Amino acid sequence: MNINTTKVISLLFFIFSAFYLYTAYQIQVFAFDENAPFNARTFPIYLGYAGLFFSGLKLILPDPYTIKVQHKTLEYKKTVILIIIAIIYGATILKVGYFLATSLFLFSSYYFLGERRWVLMFILSFPFVAAFMYLLHGVLDIYLRDPFLQSIGVMG
Amino acid sequence: MIEGILIGLTTALTLQNILMVMLGCFFGTIIGMLPGLGPMTAIALMIPITYGFDPATGLILMAGVYYGAVFGGSTSSILLNAPGVPGTVATSFDGYPMAQQGKAGKALAIAAWSSFAGGTLSAIYLLFMAPSLSKVSLSFRSPDYFALMILGLTAIAAFSSKGQFLKAMMMVVLGLMLASVGQDSLSDITRFTFNNMNLTDGISFVLVVMATFAMSEALTIILKRNDPTSAAKQVSLTELGSIKINKEERTKMYKTIPRSSVIGFLIGVLPGAGATIASFLAYGMERNIVNDEEKEKFGKGSVNGLSAPETANNAACSGSFVPMLTLGIPGSGTTAVMLGALLGFGVQPGPRLYMTNPEIFWSIIMSMYIGMVILLILNLPLIPYIARILAVPKNYLIPLILFFSITGIYVMSFNNFDIYLMIGIAVVATFLRLYDFPMPPLILAFVLGGLMEENLRRSLLLSNGSWEFLWDRALTACILATTILIIIWHIYKTLKKIN
């Protein structure tokens, strides 16, 4: 059997399905439901077996369409930085507020992706977010929680 | 039906809804022109905007984006041989050679008129077929629905990517597993929450769509160093030439359009098939039908060869609304996203939709006509100008996609956990995409997961736990037999490839 990354993913999915199946069997059901033809754990149990079946097949059958990814050509650094910025954005959005957190997220993302046109970067972050907020909050009446803008009296 | 059409027209022709169709078509055309960003991403990005609208308006906006994206995809196919969406690959076979001969404007005009005619004709088919099918589907029972969902999931796995059936089935199972997180709908027992309160209500559909499409596509573009906007920059510089179609070309189109629209619509109705298969089939059928002289021109700039796939892919878009509106079962990943959005509005699509919410049912159909006219106006004279908008560098495009995705989740839950979960799913999806694990089956399975469990529950309870319900009724047995045929066909194809 030729080991490639697709097979490794299939193996991981097989292990995940086994864990899912084990957890499905642990689901607590009501005593009167225990022997019913269908209860809260029936469908997940079928899914667990289906996961084992399909990933098992993928593992043992030869793969006529092998995918080869050239890892050297992939841009891991920028992708990881972008993910980290997104996580920081997620962590700060509630405390700092939508406007500031989003504007800073956009500005820093442009910067780390290699952009250096400062004026355009600024326009497409702070004023852009303000306009978008106005569209959502002011025009479409979609509530946006922003403690920062509330504290300075811009938002009601 | 006349009453329904009038209700639909009244709803669709309000200033707000006309504006939504226009915006949807415009935005869809832009996204459709960007290779890699398809209609599903475009619709997913629209979801936060639709929160502020009523269901009819929200769906009209999303429908506009859908056919706008398919329409926009044909532009980059014709001018650059770089299809924006898979459904327009067949368009490039004759569209691009025509553009190379200095007839880019003519090719765009043929594509635009064919799309318009295909979309309009199929909207008429939909107008007549949807109410009738709704009435028929009222006789569907839980076993039929369960079998139909199995068929839909198998079909989308079979057709979603070439030779990746098992991978697609793994994605189907993963989608169903994600859908099973949270409270059981009947007993309220929590499942797979690991005592995390944030998971009690399950994983949000918008979160999964945003993560697997919008966000993971943005990350994939960065990871693979792609630049989807480069195509648009080139389009804006292309000389289009005349857009006039002469009498001989029109005569050819008159014959091609009706037959291609029928095949496109019927393929669109089938679960899992969609615009890509419809356009290839229409192209192949047209090549077999035309005379030898015309056959020679195929692949070198044939009018029939360009008109057929363009008619079919737009007709398939309208066709894919049939199972969603009448059965409540989406036939494609794109309509699955729309179904999820509808469920978010509290509207349950299905056979009763056109009785309980006639304004939604009919206004979508009516908005298709309006959308086709708007697309015709947009695509012909405005393409170079639209393309100029896309000259936005990817350094701006990618953060903006991430921003729209995170905003979509933020305004829904105001919860950090959902944002982290979305980023986590997006990272996994990006990695899976690298190895050609298709995402549309995952989305369709996620949307259908709850309905599937509910129908299986009813079927098993009614048959006292016996699986005989699968062949008790002729209809259920037929649907199941079709599913088995699809699986056998795929096993045969794989074995043939191995040998």
CB atoms within 10 A of CB A66: 12
- pLDDT score recorded for residue A133: 87
Residue of B nearest to A66 (CA): B435
> CA B220 to CA B203: how far, in whole Å?
23
Residue of B49, B395, B432 lying closest to A114 (CB–CB)? B395
| A60 & A120 share domain | no
Looking at the complex, does the CB of residue B163 fall below 8 Å from at least one CB of chain A?
yes
User: Is B173 within 8 Å of A82 when comparing Cβ atoms?
Assistant: no
User: Is B423 within 8 Å of A87 when comparing Cβ atoms?
Assistant: yes
Domain ranges of chain B: 2-498
Q: Which residues of A touch B191 (CB under 8 A)?
A: 24, 27, 40-41, 44
- Specify the 3-state DSSP secondary structure of B183: strand
Residue of B nearest to A51 (CA): B173
| A145 & A81 share domain | yes
Domain-located, residue A99: yes
CB atoms within 10 A of CB A33: 15
Site of tokens 């669709």: B12
| A65 & A77 share domain | no
| A64 & A78 share domain | no
Which residues constitute the domain of residue A13?
A: 5-69
Residue of B180, B223, B414 lying closest to A75 (CB–CB)? B223
Measured at the CA of B266, the angle between CA B269 and CA B484, to 5 degrees, comes to 65
| A56 & A87 share domain | no
| A43 & A17 share domain | yes
Greatest CA separation for chain B:
70
The whole-angstrom distance between B184's CA and the closest CA on chain A is 6
User: Is A29 within 8 Å of B187 when comparing Cβ atoms?
Assistant: yes
| Number of domains making up chain A | 2
Beta bridge partners of B190: B183
Residue of A nearest to B416 (CA): A90
> CA B256 to CA B111: how far, in whole Å?
12
Residue of B163, B170, B460 lying closest to A38 (CB–CB)? B460
What pTM value is reported for the model? 0.83
User: Is B225 within 8 Å of A73 when comparing Cβ atoms?
Assistant: yes
The whole-angstrom distance between A152's CA and the closest CA on chain B is 21
Single-letter residue type at B263: I
pLDDT at residue A25 is higher than 90: yes
Looking at the complex, does the CB of residue A15 fall below 8 Å from at least one CB of chain B?
no
- Best of B177, B217, B394, B454 to disrupt the A interface (most A CBs within 10 Å) is B177
User: Is A83 within 8 Å of B427 when comparing Cβ atoms?
Assistant: yes
Q: CB within 8 A of B168, min separation 6: which ones?
A: B156, B157, B158, B160, B161, B437, B438, B441
- Best of B195, B196, B435 to disrupt the A interface (most A CBs within 10 Å) is B435
Domain final residue pick, A69, A89, A123: A69
User: Is A91 within 8 Å of B163 when comparing Cβ atoms?
Assistant: no
Alpha helices in B390-473 (DSSP H): 394-413, 416-434, 440-462, 469-472
| A80 & A119 share domain | yes
> CA A136 to CA A134: how far, in whole Å?
6
Q: Which residues of B touch A30 (CB under 8 A)?
A: 187, 189
Residue of A47, A93, A98 lying closest to B177 (CB–CB)? A47
| A125 & A82 share domain | yes
Residue of A nearest to B170 (CA): A54
Domain final residue pick, A69, A89, A107: A69
Looking at the complex, does the CB of residue B434 fall below 8 Å from at least one CB of chain A?
yes
- pLDDT score recorded for residue A101: 94
- pLDDT score recorded for residue B1: 66
| A83 & A126 share domain | yes
Contact in structure between B141 and B365 (CB atoms under 8 Å): no
Size of interface A-B (CB pairs under 8 A): 178
Residues of chain B with pLDDT under 70: 1, 35-37, 82, 84-85, 160-163, 227-240, 271-274, 331, 379, 383-392
Q: If pLDDT is split at 50, 70 and 90, which confidence band does A121 have? A: very high
Residue of A nearest to B436 (CA): A67
Domain final residue pick, A46, A69, A92: A69
Residue of A20, A55, A141 lying closest to B170 (CB–CB)? A55
| A64 & A108 share domain | no
Q: Which residues of A touch B465 (CB under 8 A)?
A: 37-38
Looking at the complex, does the CB of residue A103 fall below 8 Å from at least one CB of chain B?
no
Q: Which residues of A touch B452 (CB under 8 A)?
A: 43
The whole-angstrom distance between B224's CA and the closest CA on chain A is 5
User: Is A82 within 8 Å of B222 when comparing Cβ atoms?
Assistant: yes
User: Is B419 within 8 Å of A93 when comparing Cβ atoms?
Assistant: yes
- pLDDT score recorded for residue A62: 82
Measuring CA to CA, which residue among B360, B367, B369, B136 is closest to residue B269? B136
| A45 & A111 share domain | no
User: Is B399 within 8 Å of A89 when comparing Cβ atoms?
Assistant: no
Residue of B187, B399, B460 lying closest to A113 (CB–CB)? B399
- pLDDT score recorded for residue B440: 83
- pLDDT score recorded for residue B272: 62
| A62 & A106 share domain | no
The whole-angstrom distance between A42's CA and the closest CA on chain B is 9
Q: If pLDDT is split at 50, 70 and 90, which confidence band does A52 have? A: very high
Long-range contacts of B3-6 (CB under 8 A, 24+ apart): B4/B131, B4/B354, B4/B358, B4/B361, B4/B362, B5/B127, B5/B362, B5/B366
Q: If pLDDT is split at 50, 70 and 90, which confidence band does A1 have? A: low
Domain-located, residue A156: no
- pLDDT score recorded for residue A26: 94
- pLDDT score recorded for residue B379: 66
B68 class by beta-carbon count within 10 Å (0-12 exposed, 13-18 middle, 19+ buried): buried
> CA B341 to CA B336: how far, in whole Å?
9
Domain-located, residue A84: yes
Residue of B nearest to A23 (CA): B192
Measured at the CA of B484, the angle between CA B126 and CA A67, to 5 degrees, comes to 90
User: Is B48 within 8 Å of A62 when comparing Cβ atoms?
Assistant: no
The whole-angstrom distance between B280's CA and the closest CA on chain A is 22
Looking at the complex, does the CB of residue A50 fall below 8 Å from at least one CB of chain B?
yes
User: Is A113 within 8 Å of B51 when comparing Cβ atoms?
Assistant: no
